[in-house]
Structure 1
Amino acid sequence: MHAFDVLGDPVRRRILELLADGEATSGMVTEVVTAEFGISQPAVSQHLKVLRENGFATVRPEGTRRLYSVGTEPLREIDEWLRPFRRFWAPRLDALGTELARGKRERRKQQENP
């Protein structure tokens, strides 16, 4: 399965967002995803399986629990694929960073000289 096919599903993207915060049990992932998407535990397990089989998630057993985390290799491949497109947004993000820094400096000056 192609990386974008895997990430094309909103449930799988949400699972990766949860895992981006750090290792999570399958139970925690299932609880959040079933609440947000209204799907069953077996459906969440299938999504975790797709992520695992395609390298987006890794799993390690800890006693009776299964702990999932983000698999980085497919994300590196996507990052590499996106490289030629960064020119469309990188300058704008740089300009935004400059404006944010300018605003911080102005607020700091106003606080120092009330």
Structure 2
Amino acid sequence: MVQYTNASLDASFAALSDVTRRGVLEQLGSAEASITDLAAKFNMSLTGMKKHVGVLEHAGLVTTEKIGRVRTCKIGPRRLEEEMAWIDKYRQLWAARFDELDKVVEDMKRKEKVNGRKKRK
């Protein structure tokens, strides 16, 4: 079996697989926030939030900047084009398969309808 490996896709999907990290991205989509503010918002320890932010930062989804004692987070420069292209490829594949399935079902319904008429005569 061929193994498909892409470190950036792996890091992105791993980062997005957690509900807290998706929530952090939503929060940062509205405004920058400190790790302390994010930890409070998610009722989490500072250490726990640092780990989540680290995963997001490793994936390039978040950037941080330390000014004095405060580490501020903001949305990273990546736009997820590669991830969206990967998802779209499979969306198109499944859409085509469901279109074919629809044709089979319609054909079966049509045949059933024709056969039902023949039996009534």
Distance in 2 between the 1:79 and 1:69 partners? 21
- Normalising by structure 2, we get a TM-score of 0.59
- The corresponding residue for 2:34 is 25
Partner SS state of residue 60, structure 2: coil
Distance in 2 between the 1:70 and 1:9 partners? 17
Distance in 2 between the 1:42 and 1:10 partners? 17
- The corresponding residue for 1:109 is none
Distance in 2 between the 1:79 and 1:22 partners? 23
| Conservation of the 8 A alpha-carbon contact between 1:55 and 1:74 | no
- The corresponding residue for 1:95 is none
Query: What residue ranges of structure 2 are gaps of 5+ in the alignment?
Result: 1-6, 96-121
CA separation of 1:74/1:5 partners in 2, compared to 1, >3 Å: closer, same or farther? farther
- What aligned pairs does 1:70-81 form with structure 2 within 5 A after superposition? 70-73=75-78, 75-81=80-86
Aligned residues: 84
Query: What residue ranges of structure 1 are gaps of 5+ in the alignment?
Result: 89-114
- What aligned pairs does 1:82-101 form with structure 2 within 5 A after superposition? 82-84=87-89, 85=91
Distance in 1 between the 2:34 and 2:49 partners? 12
Distance in 2 between the 1:42 and 1:64 partners? 15
> Considering only CA atoms, is the larger Rg found in Structure 1 or Structure 2?
2
- Normalising by structure 1, we get a TM-score of 0.62
- The corresponding residue for 1:46 is 51
| Alignment deviations for residues 32-70 of structure 1 (CA, whole Å, 9 cap, x no partner) | 011xxxx32211111111111121110112232111111
Candidates 67, 91, 104, aligned match of 1:62: 67
User: Over aligned residue pairs, what C-alpha RMSD do you find?
Assistant: 2.2
